[in-house]
Chain A
C-alpha cells in the first residue's frame, strides 16, 4: 500500500512470458511426466500475485516474486505428494535454495531459465506426439497462453484444444521423457519437429492480418522467440533454425505495413516500406548471415533468401525478380509443393510477363491441394486483368470470392473486382 505512484508498471505480457518460463522450469525439476503439477504451481503463484499486488502494490521485481512464490508452492506440494518420495530431499533442497536466492536478492533473475524453456519446447515437440498436440502444448506450456487463447489462435474450439492437451500430457507420461536433451540423432529429429511446429505457429499468426486480432500477431512474436531459443542454444547447432528465424523476422517486419489506416489488407507491392519494422529487418539479416555455412541448404534458407531479396528493395519496382525467380526454382527443386509453385508463377509473371505466369499456373488448377484456395483464382484474375482479359479476370475474382478467406481478404478481393468493373466501363 505504500505506493507513492512510482510503482513499476507491469511489463507488457509479463504474466504470459513468466508463466512460460516458470512452467518450463518446474517441469524440468519435477520431470515432464508431472507437467500438470508444474502448471498448478505456476497458476497458484499467478493467482497469489493477482490477490496480493492490488493491495501491496506491484513488487520491484515481479519475475523474482513470482518465482519465489512458485518455489514456496512447489515445496508445499512436495510434502503432500507421494509421487516424489524418491526425489523429495534433493528437490526440496533445490527449491529452498532457489527460494532463498530470490528472497535475498531484490534483482534476482531466475537464471538459466531459457535453458529450461529450450528443453520444454523439445519435450512439447517430441515426434511421438501428434502434430496438432505439439503446437497446442508448446503454446500452453512455453507460450503461457490459455486454452481459450490457443483455440482462438488456431481457429479451433476450446473443448478440442483442452482434449488435445490432456492427451498430449498422457502421451508424455507414456513416453517417460526425462526432460533432458537427447543424444545427437534423436536431438536432430526433435529440433526438426520443433522448427516445423514453430513455422506452423508463425503462419497461423501471419495469416491473420494483424490489427484485428492481437492474439494472432502475438503468435508471430512468440514463434520468433521460440525460434531464437533454438537458434541461440549452445547445445543445438542447426543452421536451419537460424534460417527460420531470418525468414520469420523478415516477414514479421512487414506486418505494420500489411494493413492500412482503414484496416484493409495491403499487398507487398503496394506497401509503404517505411512502415516496415526496421529492428526486425535487421534481426532477419543478422540471422540470415548466421544461417550460411551449413552443410545443406534447407527450404527455410531459400525462403529466407526470397524474403531478404524483397527486404533489400527500396521500392516494389526495384525488386530483383530475376533473383527471386531463381530462388523459387531452387525451392521447387528441394521442396516442391503447389503453394510454392503458385508463388513461383507470380515471379515468372514479373520476369516474363503475365502470359508466362498464366502458363505456369495452368497445371496447378488441377491440383487437389489447391481446390478452394482463394489465392489461386486471385492470382489468375490479376494476371488476366494485366493482359486486358477483363471478363475472364472478373470470373476469376468471383471464383476466389467463393473460396474460404478471412474478412479482410474478402474485402480486398471485392475491391479488386469493383475496380475492374469501373476501369472497364471507362475504357
Chain B
C-alpha cells in the first residue's frame, strides 16, 4: 500500500459563532473518521500544528535568511496533517472526501514517493 499525506489547511474563522453543542458534533465527526481509518489500519499518523504560523527560511542574495511566513491573515493556514495508507491515489482521495475537515478548510492530498 502506498502512503499519502493529507495536508489540512484551516479556513480562518471556520469555527466562529458555533455553539458548544455544534462544536461537539464536529469533534465527534472527526473522531469517528479517525477511528474508521485506525480500525482498518490505514492511519499512519496525524498531528495538529501549533497556532503560531512560524517563519520561513529561504535564500536571499545568496545567503539563507529567516523571514515571516507567506501567510496573510485571510489565507488558509496549514493546521495539521495525516499520513494514511491507500491502494492508490483515487482511494486516498476518497478517504479525504470523507473527512469532516472538508467543511472547515481544504485538504491537499499528496503521495509519498517511496520508489
Contact = CB atoms under 8 A, between A and B. Distances in A.
B24 A54 contact: no
Interface stretch (A106-114, A142-150, A295-303, A395-403): A142-150
Interface in A120-160: 144-149
A49 B33 CA distance: 16
Interface in B13-43: 15, 17-24, 26-28, 30-31, 33-35, 38-39, 43
A120 B4 CA distance: 50
A1 B31 contact: no
A16 B18 CA distance: 11
B20 A47 contact: no
A335 interface: no
Nearest to B29: A54
Given A16-B24, A49-B27, A54-B30, A146 B46 contact: no
A318 interface: no
Given A1-B45, A55-B48, A15 B23 contact: yes
A234 interface: no
A105 interface: no
A7 interface: yes
Contacts of A1: 43, 45-47
Contacts of B79: 51
Given A16-B21, A55-B47, A145-B19, A50 B27 contact: yes
A54 B20 contact: no
Q: Specify which of B33, B48, B80 lies most central, judged by the most chain A CB atoms within 10 Å of its CB.
A: B48
Contacts of B21: 13, 15-16, 144-146, 149
B30 A53 contact: yes
Given A53-B30, A55-B47, A14 B35 contact: no
Contacts of A57: 31, 34
B23 A46 contact: yes
Nearest to A18: B20
A85 interface: no
Contact of B20 (A5, A46, A51): A46
B35 A53 contact: no
Task: Tell me the dominant secondary structure on chain A's binding face.
Answer: helix
Contact of A58 (B15, B31, B33): B31
A3 B28 contact: no
A54 B43 CA distance: 13
A146 B27 contact: no
B27 A55 contact: no
Q: Specify which of B10, B19, B23, B47 lies most central, judged by the most chain A CB atoms within 10 Å of its CB.
A: B19
A50 B26 contact: yes
A402 to B, nearest CB: 36
A144 B34 CA distance: 27
Contacts of A54: 27, 30-31, 33-34, 46, 48, 100
Q: Specify which of B18, B20, B46 lies most central, judged by the most chain A CB atoms within 10 Å of its CB.
A: B20
Contacts of A225: none
A146 B22 contact: yes
A208 B55 CA distance: 54
Interface string A1-39: 101010100100111101100000000000000000000
Interface in B28-79: 28, 30-31, 33-35, 38-39, 43, 45-48, 79
Interface in B88-115: 100
Contacts of A52: 48
Contacts of A47: 15, 23
Interface of A: 1, 3, 5, 7, 10, 13-16, 18-19, 46-47, 49-58, 144-149
Given A1-B45, A146-B20, 17 more contacts: A7-B31, A7-B35, A10-B28, A14-B24, A15-B20, A15-B21, A15-B27, A46-B20, A47-B15, A47-B23, A51-B80, A52-B48, A55-B47, A57-B34, A145-B19, A145-B20, A145-B21
5 contacts: A15-B20, A15-B21, A54-B100, A58-B31, A144-B21
